[in-house]
């Protein structure tokens, strides 16, 4: 009998008919544009094509793909939009290659996705890692405020801020040039700072601005939330069209809003993107731009209404909490469609709540951690889905009543304190390394990022000196059976050779 482990697991998963509150946003096709749905139903495998006559070429679009990308650019108000078939990851890395020269300094917030770190290996840039604010109760990063970013932009940056093998940092006679500022808006949990304030601040400095808007493509179509950097015309904005809109997984867009960056970005994408792109993914992007043109505002409004309804249902349940519990400080905003829920008052961890939702109620959430679970409300959801989720949580509340969870102190150094690197990500990548037991790693230089999924934020950067607080957090995460990339099955981590 033929063995197909992945196919078998997918088949088994589909038998349960789970209700998903996770990516991709189309929710197993329920939110897709009608014509695209019908085309897939007529013959999904027949649509898996290549660059046959008439279907154009992603690396040299001059026909239907060129027209589709032009329509997407018009929709999002961009100078040019590029289709991405390897997610926002390839967009971020291409933008870094295009805008961040080797040894060039780039300001990045502490909570960037691991793809940015890998992009710096490709670009050879020097990261200036900015601390971000935390909500310590929920254990989530909020982001970088305009005040902190303004302060950082005014600071004198040494000619070489990395104190490593390529030369010690020297005192700067004056402020040196920062090549690029990268921001993340909104976060995985939907928190962001007013986009207009941040973008204006960076533009006034004349520094290129690259935005990871992977979790906020839908915000462009919402009038009441000033979270969309694409609306604010940041220089380059990258969106995961599959996460909160209705494209297929991996299908994303890169929007260029400044003319001089179009050619460098195009050339970088030629280096990184496959020459055999999936026509299914590109067709889903084309269908999404058409759907949004016709009813983007209405769909965004509907998902907001459903999210508000879910939030209201949960707030009425004893033992449950919904983030944010109070208004966020001035300047900060939360995307209501990211519904972060805690059952700590019932004595349930997020992991236990997620497991109960899945095993007893057939509901799968986007993410779970010690304190909470994350529901994503997207274009693919209905009123009935929201009622079902609310009823499931009510039932869980009635059946579970244990001692409330003890507050879990979150190591602030992971986000709120500066990260000092002794080497750039590229220098670490090409240095000799070895693996050591966790107990032997204190004082050594980290040789590979330690990243907890989700959401894919490094808790330890390569080039960073490892301290006991880092190791305590890693041990705790392992005890909780979190998925940590960078730790071997023998619980060893990679460090640079002395």
CATH of the domain at 254: 3.40.640.10
CA 184 to chain centre: 8
Confidence category of residue 173, pLDDT binned at 50, 70, 90: very low
Tell me the mean pLDDT in the region 438-454: 91
Of the three residues 294, 325, 353, the one that is the final residue of a domain is 294
Residue 356 has pLDDT above 60, yes or no: yes
**Measured distance CA(359)–CA(492) in Å, rounded:** 33
In 3-state terms, what secondary structure has residue 142?
strand
As a whole number, the mean pLDDT across the chain is: 92
pLDDT, tens digit, for every residue of 244-265? 999 999 999 999 999 999 999 9
Give a yes or no: residue 95 inside a domain. Answer: yes
Pair 389, 469 in one domain: no
**pLDDT for res 330:** 87
Pair 282, 304 in one domain: no
Pair 66, 140 in one domain: yes
Tell me the mean pLDDT in the region 116-129: 96
Of the three residues 278, 294, 310, the one that is the final residue of a domain is 294
Tell me the mean pLDDT in the region 131-135: 89
Give a yes or no: residue 385 inside a domain. Answer: yes
**pLDDT for res 216:** 96
Give a yes or no: residue 406 inside a domain. Answer: no
Confidence category of residue 215, pLDDT binned at 50, 70, 90: very high
> What's the sign of the alpha-carbon dihedral 356, 357, 362, 365?
negative
Pair 100, 180 in one domain: yes
Q: Which domain, by its residues, includes 171?
A: 61-294
Pair 188, 271 in one domain: yes
Task: Select from 256, 240, 300 the least CA-distant residue to 76.
Answer: 256
Residue 465 has pLDDT above 70, yes or no: yes
CATH of the domain at 466: 3.90.105.10
Tell me the mean pLDDT in the region 198-222: 96
Residue with tokens 């080497």: 423
Give a yes or no: residue 157 inside a domain. Answer: yes
pLDDT, tens digit, for every residue of 275-298? 999 999 999 999 999 999 999 999
Pair 172, 257 in one domain: yes
Task: Select from 77, 57, 93, 67 the least CA-distant residue to 255.
Answer: 77
The share of the chain scoring above pLDDT 90, in percent, equals 78
Pair 449, 388 in one domain: no
Confidence category of residue 477, pLDDT binned at 50, 70, 90: confident
Q: What are phi and psi of 207, to 5 degrees?
A: -105, 135
CA distances from 402 to 32, 116, 343, 349, 356 (A): 42, 41, 10, 11, 15
Percentage helix, strand, coil, to 5, in the chain?
A: 40, 20, 40
**pLDDT for res 498:** 79
Tell me the mean pLDDT in the region 205-210: 96
Angle at 207 between CA 204 and CA 209, to 5 degrees: 100
Cβ(181)–Cβ(367) under 8 Å? no
Give a yes or no: residue 414 inside a domain. Answer: no
Cβ(450)–Cβ(484) under 8 Å? yes
Give a yes or no: residue 423 inside a domain. Answer: no
Give a yes or no: residue 22 inside a domain. Answer: no
Cβ(238)–Cβ(266) under 8 Å? no
Pair 145, 237 in one domain: yes
**Measured distance CA(129)–CA(118) in Å, rounded:** 14
Pair 233, 302 in one domain: no
Tell me the mean pLDDT in the region 112-130: 95
Of the three residues 235, 260, 294, the one that is the final residue of a domain is 294
pLDDT, tens digit, for every residue of 364-388? 999 998 889 999 999 999 999 999 9
CATH of the domain at 359: 3.90.1150.10
Pair 316, 267 in one domain: no
Pair 337, 379 in one domain: yes
Residue 455 has pLDDT above 80, yes or no: no
**Total domain count for the chain?**
3
**pLDDT for res 212:** 98
Pair 117, 136 in one domain: yes
**pLDDT for res 199:** 95
pTM for the full predicted model: 0.94
Task: Select from 332, 299, 372, 313 the least CA-distant residue to 137.
Answer: 372
Copy the structure tokens of residue 149: 């970013």
Give a yes or no: residue 449 inside a domain. Answer: yes
């Amino acid at each position: 009998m033929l063995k197909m482990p992945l196919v078998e697991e997918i088949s088994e998963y589909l038998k349960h008919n789970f209700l998903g509150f996770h990516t991709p946003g189309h929710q197993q096709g329920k939110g897709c544009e009608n014509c695209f749905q019908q085309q897939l139903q007529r013959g999904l495998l027949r649509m898996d094509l290549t660059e046959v006559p008439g279907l154009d070429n992603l690396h040299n679009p001059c026909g239907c793909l060129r027209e589709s990308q032009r329509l997407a650019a018009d929709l999002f108000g961009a100078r040019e939009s590029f289709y991405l078939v390897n997610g926002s990851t390839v967009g971020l890395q291409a933008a870094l290659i295009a805008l961040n020269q080797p040894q060039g300094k780039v300001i990045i917030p502490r909570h960037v996705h691991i793809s940015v770190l890998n992009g710096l290996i490709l670009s050879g840039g020097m990261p200036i890692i900015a601390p971000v604010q935390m909500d310590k109760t929920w254990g989530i990063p909020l982001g970088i405020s305009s005040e902190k970013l303004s302060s950082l932009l005014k600071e004198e940056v040494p000619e070489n801020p990395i104190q490593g093998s390529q030369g010690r940092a020297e005192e700067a006679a004056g402020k040196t040039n920062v090549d690029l500022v990268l921001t993340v808006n909104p976060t995985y949990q939907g928190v962001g700072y007013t986009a207009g304030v941040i973008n204006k601040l960076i533009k006034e400095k004349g520094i290129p601005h690259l935005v990871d808007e992977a979790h906020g493509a839908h915000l462009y179509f919402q009038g009441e939330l000033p979270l969309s950097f694409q609306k604010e015309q940041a220089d380059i904005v990258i969106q995961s069209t599959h996460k909160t809109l209705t494209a297929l997984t991996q299908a994303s867009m890169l929007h260029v809003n400044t003319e001089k960056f179009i050619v460098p970005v195009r050339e970088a994408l030629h280096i990184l993107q496959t020459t055999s792109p999936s026509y299914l993914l590109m067709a889903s992007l084309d269908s999404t731009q058409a759907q949004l043109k016709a009813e983007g505002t209405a769909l965004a409004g509907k998902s907001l209404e459903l999210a508000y309804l879910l939030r209201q249902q949960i707030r009425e349940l004893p033992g449950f909490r919904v983030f944010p519990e109070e208004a966020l400080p001035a300047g900060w905003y939360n995307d209501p469609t990211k519904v972060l829920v805690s059952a700590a008052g019932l004595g349930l961890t997020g992991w236990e709540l997620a497991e109960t939702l899945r095993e007893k109620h057939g509901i799968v959430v986007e993410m779970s951690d010690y304190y909470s679970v994350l529901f994503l409300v997207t274009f693919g959801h209905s009123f009935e889905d929201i009622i079902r989720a609310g009823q499931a949580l009510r039932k869980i509340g009635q059946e579970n009543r244990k001692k409330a969870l003890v507050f879990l102190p979150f190591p602030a150094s992971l986000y709120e304190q500066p990260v000092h690197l002794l080497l750039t990500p590229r220098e670490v990548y090409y240095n000799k390394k070895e693996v050591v037991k966790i107990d032997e790693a204190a004082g050594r230089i980290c040789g590979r990022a330690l990243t907890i999924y989700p959401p894919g934020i490094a808790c330890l950067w390569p080039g960073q000196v490892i301290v006991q607080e880092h190791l305590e957090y890693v041990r705790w995460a392992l005890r909780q059976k979190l998925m940590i990339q960078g730790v071997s099955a023998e619980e060893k981590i990679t460090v640079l050779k002395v």
